[in-house]
Amino acid sequence: MLLVVDIGTSNFKTAIFDYKGNCRNMVTLPVSTIAAEDAAGDANNAGGGSPVEADPAEWLRAFAGAVSRLGSLSGVEAVVISGNGPTLTPVTGTPAIAGGNLSLPAGMARLWLDRRAEAEAKIVSALAGGFVDPGFFLPKALLLKKQDPELYEKTRAFLSPAEYLACALTGEARTVFPSTGFDQWYWTGKLLDTAGLDRDKFPPFIAPGDCIGVISGAAASLFGFSGNVQVIAGGPDFFVSILGSGAILPGAACNRTGTSEGINLCTENRIRDNRLMCYGHPVRPYWNLSGIISTSGRAIRWGRELLGMEGLPYAAFYALADTAPAGAGGLLFLPYLAGERAPVWNPRARGVFMGLSLSSSRRELARAIVEGVCFAIRDVIGVMEETGAPVRELRVSGGPGESAVFNQLKADISGRRVLLPPRRDAELLGLTALGAVAAGKYASPEEAAGVMVTITGEYIPDEGRASLYEGMFERYRGLYRSLKDQFAEYSDSAQAH
């Protein structure tokens, strides 16, 4: 049996799986973030982004709460962990158990949504010889050193959420380097030296599927594990979701939905294009061509709150959107509520409604928001195909994948089949595949995924809407281009005041 853990931005998922991919029990607990709107004085921070942080201690509390609800852990042979990122957690102490609780002292974690380090990103990009977004690790570490030198000096290791939990359980600090091609977004010793960062604060690299260490005796006793339970590196959540969705052949894309949206396409060749990221696929010898959209599910949550529906299930919001005509009466929405990553890479971009009129009602607003997210997905897909990489299908994972309305709009606007794997939380199934390979149950991750992943649903594009959405997509792209310079001017003006 395997205990698999995924630390999301808003949810902490923990489950027990067997080696055939069957879930025996699962617990999902909410975790919180502290964003700019929650803290006074953050509006004037430098750069185009705002603070988005989390308390790492909450991840440990969530782990304790989850395993206490799962039942006996005596049959668990290994723990496999993944998490959101790039998130930077400055760990300042060592694991301890006090008052019946596991602790690992750390400063506030700067989440992947935190893109304050715009000036630092320019410095790192120049040193690395390629674009590095403000959301990545080294720009955040440089900004932390500048803003809080005392915390920087106290930091023993910079870790991601998954690595933080693994360190708390084992005492071992490691960085999970997903695959070939990630060099630009991580670091080398030379780059750290040149940037003025201390090498010893950045732990050694290991790969997904490697053993980080064994759960300490104190932690095993606290949580009820048997002896010698290994902690296996899962890596970033999107990486393991690729396996869990079964996107293991060229042309298949894993569409990981959640707070953000990741499109991860399996390709035969490495593709170099600054609008996208490309690195080794979990299945060799393939490559993964990736485009990450910053606020997809978060935009839908925002729309739900905007329309006074926060007390209602998300299904009610999608149902409202479905009552509006296709095209939302000509209303367009840019979902750039926290800047945007692929394919525009602009931390200063902002959300926009275009085409509002007296006839625009709540239902048009709701549909425009969902369609806007789908246009952002199509934008990434379009850039992928411009590079010569065909996108045959979208395999959906994540909570929003439960919505038939959202899935059908994805199919209609992208023009691609949308397929549903057996679990929306594909990262958990991907973690199970990695753990099963580490345990010697399968020869390779693709063999494990081939056994565990089947397709349970399919959405076909509505050809009758193709012309409408084609025209709207061109206006969507044109709207961003026309506003790009104004976004920068607006951001500079806001900072000045």
Same domain, 153 and 118: yes
Q: Are residues 215 and 330 in the same domain?
A: no
Residue 36 predicted with pLDDT over 70: no
Pair (292, 406) in one structural domain: yes
Same domain, 201 and 289: no
Domain final position from 223, 239, 255? 239
Assigned domain for 378 exists: yes
**Looking at residue 57, what is its pLDDT?**
98
Exposure string of 136-172, with b = 16+ CB inside 10 Å and e = fewer, is: bbbbbbbbbbeeeeeebeebbbbbbbbbbbbbbbbbb
Same domain, 32 and 171: yes
Q: Is 171 in the same domain as 262?
A: no
Side chain identity at 446, as an amino acid letter?
Answer: E
C-alpha of 359 from chain center: 36
Asked if 233 and 251 sit in the same domain, the reply is no
**Same domain membership, residue 180 and residue 73:** yes
Q: Buried b vs exposed e over 293-332: b needs ≥16 C-beta within 10 Å?
A: bbbbbbbbbbbbeebebeeeebeebbebbbebebbbbbbb
What does the pLDDT read at residue 491?
65
**DSSP one-letter code for 237:** H
Which CATH number characterizes residue 223's domain?
Answer: 3.30.420.40
Would you say residue 495 lies in a domain? yes
CB atoms within 10 A of CB 439: 16
Strands 205-206 and 175-176: parallel
Is 388 a member of any domain?
A: yes
d(CA 45, CA 50) in angstroms, rounded, equals 7
CA dist 392 and 301 (Å) reads 29
Question: In the sheet where 52-54 sits, what is the strand order?
Answer: 34-35, 52-54, 109-110
Q: Are residues 233 and 261 in the same domain?
A: no
On whether residue 73 sits in a domain, the answer given is yes
pTM: 0.88
The pLDDT tens digits of the residues spanning 450-486 come to 999 999 999 999 999 999 999 999 999 999 999 999 9
List all residues 6 or more positions away from 309 whose beta carbon is below 8 Å from its beta carbon.
316, 317, 320
Q: 64 and 6 in one domain?
A: yes
> Is residue 220 domain-shared with residue 340, that is, in the same domain?
no
Q: Is residue 324 part of a domain?
A: yes
Tell which wins on pLDDT, 204 or 347: 204
Structural domain includes residue 171: yes
**pLDDT tens for each residue of 223-233:** 999 989 999 99
Mean predicted confidence (pLDDT) in 271-289: 94
Rounded to an integer, what distance in angstroms lies between the CA atom of residue 261 and that of residue 293?
5
- The reported pLDDT for the residue numbered 258 is 85
DSSP helix/strand/coil, 433: helix
Q: What is the mean pLDDT of residues 284-304?
A: 95
pLDDT confidence of residue 353: 98
The pLDDT of 314-339, averaged and rounded, is 97
Domain membership of residue 111 as a residue range: 2-239
The kind and range of the H/E element at 320 are: helix 314-322
Average pLDDT over residues 63-81: 96
Give the model confidence (pLDDT) of 99-138 as tens digits: 999 999 999 999 998 989 999 999 999 999 988 999 999 9
Whether residue 427 is contained in a domain is answered as no
Mean pLDDT of 359-387: 98
User: Cα angle at 28 between 207 and 164, to 5 degrees?
Assistant: 35
C-alpha atoms less than 13 angstroms from C-alpha of 2 in its C-beta half-sphere: 30
Last residue of a domain, one of 205, 239, 273: 239
Q: Output 311 or 35, whichever has higher pLDDT.
A: 311
Give the residue carrying structure tokens 């410095």.
Answer: 123
Considering the domain architecture, whether residues 233 and 271 belong to the same structural domain is answered as: no
If we measure between CA atoms, which residue out of 81, 82, 147 comes closest to residue 110? 147
Cα-based angle 73, 236, 60 (whole degrees, multiple of 5): 45
Number of domains in the chain: 2
Domain boundary among 217, 239, 261: 239
Q: Which amino acid is at 440?
A: G
Q: Is 248:449 a contact under the CB 8 Å cutoff?
A: yes
What percentage of the chain has pLDDT greater than the value 90?
Answer: 88
H or E segment and range at residue 477: helix 466-496
Return the number of other C-beta atoms located less than 10 Å from residue 481's C-beta.
Answer: 9
- pLDDT tens figures, 177-217: 999 988 888 999 999 999 999 999 999 999 999 999 999 99
Closest CA to 282 of 433, 95, 119, 134: 433
What percent of the chain stands above pLDDT 70?
96
Q: Tens digits of per-residue pLDDT, 168-179?
A: 999 999 999 999
177 lies in some domain:
yes
Residue 375: per-residue pLDDT: 98
Q: How far lies 389's CA from each of 20, 48, 396, 414, in Å?
A: 32, 32, 19, 15
Under the banding of pLDDT at 50, 70 and 90, the label for residue 496 is: low
